[in-house]
Structure 1
């Protein structure tokens, strides 16, 4: 893969945030902030971005192609008055106050009796309390703070009954990590960590008092998701990598090729044998996110993490330079740490073979090769196999109460591949997950679909009666026209932009969440747009002609921010949280630059905001920030949460989404395209190993939830011709297959039988 000064590779598709530049080239108009301007022009700067879900039906932009990204604040739907300010406490506080009644008056005689008993009680307490808090409580405290009963099971996920040597604690307790180091747990929200090495699948832990412990059901649509992404950890991205142990992208910035994605980074690392070669990535996995991060996330009032996972965590094939299978070991650590602190996981399948969007975070900056181009079918078949493999693992009873959501494909380019093909792919992915898990509440994860940049309204009514599906959108406002307006002017922007569409989708589709959003209102920050691509704000963005608004220093030099700036960012964060209702901030941490030694994209780091006072220390306080937005009221319909009717998709609906589609965009009909056949060995993800006592190990499952799922894996047909999976635009092989293999080269549409209910 060639690159031009670290910019967009020759012939490559637009990088992650490049679309607005392509669309606006030659016709960019400056915009003021939302709060400082009364009207916006309706033509979008980000063609095909997911913000079009916010537009009324019939007011969608007429654009074609792909490459645009996400959100444009100039769309007409954004015009609206800011909500009124409100000095009242959040709604949930009033609801809780109503639960408590005034105490009854005690009689005088009763007080005398109580006084007599009090003296005796004080004597007992003086003896018992020190023993309890130093000996009994640390060993036997369950998730609600009561004495655990060693004779009764304390986990619903295959764990053993609570044992007397369990280690647990709350705010102020000492935690010992798996490497023997210790730290003090800080959680003022009633959270309780729990880790018993003799019972490693125990689910007693609870992130906060208002979040159900892992051994109780999280009620989607009623219980709120307060989440954060662990971006840049197991799937690297240039703008968030750490400077030490090891320095990633900055270390090789003068190398050939210039690292612009994990593909080229892997090539640079592999050539650098003196520094450890490709194994440097494992050092990154070990150090970028650790157990302490999970403890801090729970202590921040957050109850979910969204973890981007690449396909090379499972395997790589010929010519793919990624470090294979290693990221999976650290995802297993993530499950262990999440279980210890009561945090639930949304596993996001972030990078697919061939790339589903052509952006750097998909593994390789360049072309789209999933559901697009001559290898679009084969790569989709391979991706569906990986979805099946992941689903089989996380649906096992040892993991299903921790990994409760599965984002089956991050940010596919629906505007390029077409909604019909994407819908059929989504339907088959759903079948793969439910074949692994069974149907009904408690059986495997929610299946989360990204909107494919088509907009939330395009998915209203999709798969009625499907068992526990969710819709994901990634709203950002920082990649369109730029403004030097003060941060305080954005106080109600998220409310005006997003609340209505998310409210509507919760009713029209069902569970809807924001899988990503940030505090950024400009595109300032080191490599936020990509390596060496510059910024729109300073007029240095590589693609397109952008007027310089000013210097990015006021937006990135966070050490100089005053109280007004910090308050403005916090207000924006709280408005976003309230408008989106169920959300995952992007991202938990941004690594320090190896050049400056500090974070260069501060509005993208939740952790940095907590440490320096511009993120709310309690996300619940965001409730009520958006005024008069008619925030959606729970619950979801029964079938949407795994209850009655879940999984009973009408045959006519299933047939209308039968896989595969009749043709692939920019590829043609299936008969002329390479495809795989299910005759290979299926990779099985290995479980962790936990020693229990001196001579045995805990049952960690075998990696496969449904033993009846015995179909082979998708592999090449020996007598057929194939292109490179990352080929981009090219002519299909000719002839495609020998006559003997022709029948197998074009698979028949497949509808998976209804999944079992256990």
Structure 2
């Protein structure tokens, strides 16, 4: 049975093996750093102890148990291209440190897959930050830099990391899929991106059979119709299309009232999901979504104004609105091959924290 036949109901383990400042602000207090690259470069040798402590405490075996107990069956784990240690290309943001990143992340990933196997969870390992950064976001490793597609060594290192992941975990029962690159920005040329995806598929398939491991690619913030006819059977097998949906980053969404948000999630996004299912010829997942409507709490870059749909509601109304917004998204994404909430845990933003959403009743107490 190919892995694509199992509906995935999952959660991202964000800011664990790849730091995002807005999710773990306590780690960035007193620093100028805006992302993991500049965090490691600024802290220098002191980064090692701090980050390893974070790895050991932010997500634990008990968290995997909690996720499984809620009826979820999958986790998506974002990683950086430095996961295997210092064989990555230099970038000027590293400063004087040729290899600034903390080592040991691969052992944490080993442990995560073992925990997933113990609790019956499937894992998608997601290359979330590529050398040179593919999107200019903090989640790409280097904020305000988009150079991944400008140097062949960046492309080659990305492919090498994917192949090493495939080789290392090829026989691991918990491995469901490998995602080739998270959120490459819209101005990365489509032809360049597609050719990378094709080569990455070949690299992974050298080690992982399509019967057991899916190859997942992101839409790159462009219409799914740009991928019609791409990576189709029989030449390609067990390929999954990933797209992400939020309603807090564009002005037209920010200015919308809660009824507009619900309609967009329940009607517009449902129509989009149905079109993807009907036209693309590949199973699709929504790899990221949340209850977040307030841009201020997630953005290191936006200038505002930071109005949002819930700001004039009392606590009861906010609870009702959050439940309705969550349910409308779940109704839509259940039409797909799967979905992953962003994220499992944050320090200060409950609408982005699965545990907080469940504990506050904004999301179901069980998902299956």
Please give the TM-score of this superposition, normalised by the length of structure 1. Answer: 0.44
Aligned partner of residue 197 in structure 2, secondary structure: helix
| Residue number in structure 2 paired with 1:498 | 269
Q: CA RMSD in A?
A: 2.3
- Give the Cα–Cα distance (whole angstroms) in 2 for the partners of residues 456 and 550 of structure 1: 28
8 A Cα contact 1:451 1:473, kept in partner: yes
**Which of residues 571, 584, 591 is equivalent to 2:340?**
584
- The residue number in structure 2 matching 1:448 is 216
Deviation at 1:517, TM superposition (A): 0.8
| 1:252 Cα deviation after fit | 2.2
Q: Max radius of gyration: which structure?
A: 1
Per the alignment, residue 220 of structure 1 pairs with 4
**1:343-354 equivalence runs, <5 A:** 343-354=121-132
Partner of 1:301: 71
Assess if the C-alpha contact under 8 Å between 2:257 and 2:309 holds in 1. Answer: no
1:567: how far off? 2.3
**Which of 124, 144, 161 is matched with 1:386 structurally?**
161
Give the direction of change, closer, same or farther, for the CA distance of 1:589–1:419 in structure 2 (3 Å limit): same
Does 2:109 align with 1:331? yes
1:551 Cα offset (Å): 11
Out of 15, 25, 34, which is 1:260 matched to? Answer: 34
1:417 and 1:404 mapped to 2: Cα distance?
A: 27
Distance verdict in 2 for CA 1:218–1:569, change over 3 Å: farther
TM-aligned CA deviation for residue 422 of structure 1: 1.1
Q: Deviations over 1:609-662 (max 9, x none)?
A: 111221111335xxxxxxxxxxxxxxxxxxxxxxxxxxxxxxxxxxxxxxxxxx
The answer as to whether partners of 1:474 and 1:515 remain within 8 angstroms in 2 is: yes
- Of the three residues 557, 561, 564, the one matched with 2:315 is 561
Q: C-alpha distance in 1, partners of 2:232/2:41?
A: 45
1:2-32, Cα deviation, whole Å (9 max, x unpaired): xxxxxxxxxxxxxxxxxxxxxxxxxxxxxxx
Q: SS of the counterpart of 2:363?
A: coil
The whole-number CA distance in structure 1 between the counterparts of 2:361 and 2:137 is 32
Query: Take 1:382 and 1:268, find their aligned partners in 2: how far apart are those partners?
Result: 24
CA contact (8 A) 1:314 1:324 kept: no
Change beyond 3 A, Cα 1:537–1:619 = farther
Of the three residues 604, 616, 623, the one matched with 2:364 is 616
Match of 2:184 in 1: 412
SS in 2 for 1:494: helix
TM-aligned CA deviation for residue 404 of structure 1: 0.9
**In 1, distance between residues paired with 2:287 and 2:9?**
11
The 5 A counterparts of 1:348-747 are: 348-372=126-150, 376-395=151-170, 397=171, 399=172, 401-413=173-185, 415-437=186-208, 439-442=209-212, 445-465=213-233, 466-481=236-251, 483=254, 487=258, 490-507=261-278, 508-525=280-297, 528-530=298-300, 533=301, 536-538=304-306, 549=307, 561-562=315-316, 564-581=317-334, 582-591=338-347, 599=348, 601-619=349-367
With normalisation by structure 2, the TM-score equals: 0.89
In structure 2, what is the Cα distance between the partners aligned to 1:287 and 1:426?
A: 34
Aligned length: 353
Contact 1:269 1:280 in 2 (8 A): no
CA distance in 1, matches of 2:309, 2:259: 18
Match of 1:290 among 60, 78, 103: 60
Structure 2 distance, partners of 1:252, 1:380, is 34
- Describe the shift of the 1:457–1:283 C-alpha distance in structure 2 as closer, same or farther (beyond 3 A): same
8 Å contact kept, 2:322–2:362: yes
The answer to whether the Cα contact below 8 Å between 1:281 and 1:323 also exists between their aligned partners in 2 is no
Greater fraction helix: 2
Structure 1 residue 490 displacement after superposition: 3.2
- Unpaired stretches in structure 1, ≥5 consecutive residues: 1-216, 539-548, 592-598, 621-758
Q: Secondary structure at the match of 2:149?
A: coil
In the alignment, is the contact (CA less than 8 A) between 2:248 and 2:254 conserved in 1?
no
Secondary structure, aligned partner of 2:44: helix
Equivalent in 16, 19, 22 of residue 236 of structure 1: 19
Cα separation, 2, equivalents of 1:279 and 1:321: 16
3-state DSSP class of the match of 2:295?
A: coil
Q: Distance in 1 between matches of 2:124 and 2:257?
A: 34
Stretches of structure 2 lacking an aligned partner (at least 5 in a row): 91-96
Q: Deviations over 1:336-368 (max 9, x none)?
A: 111111111011011111111122112111322
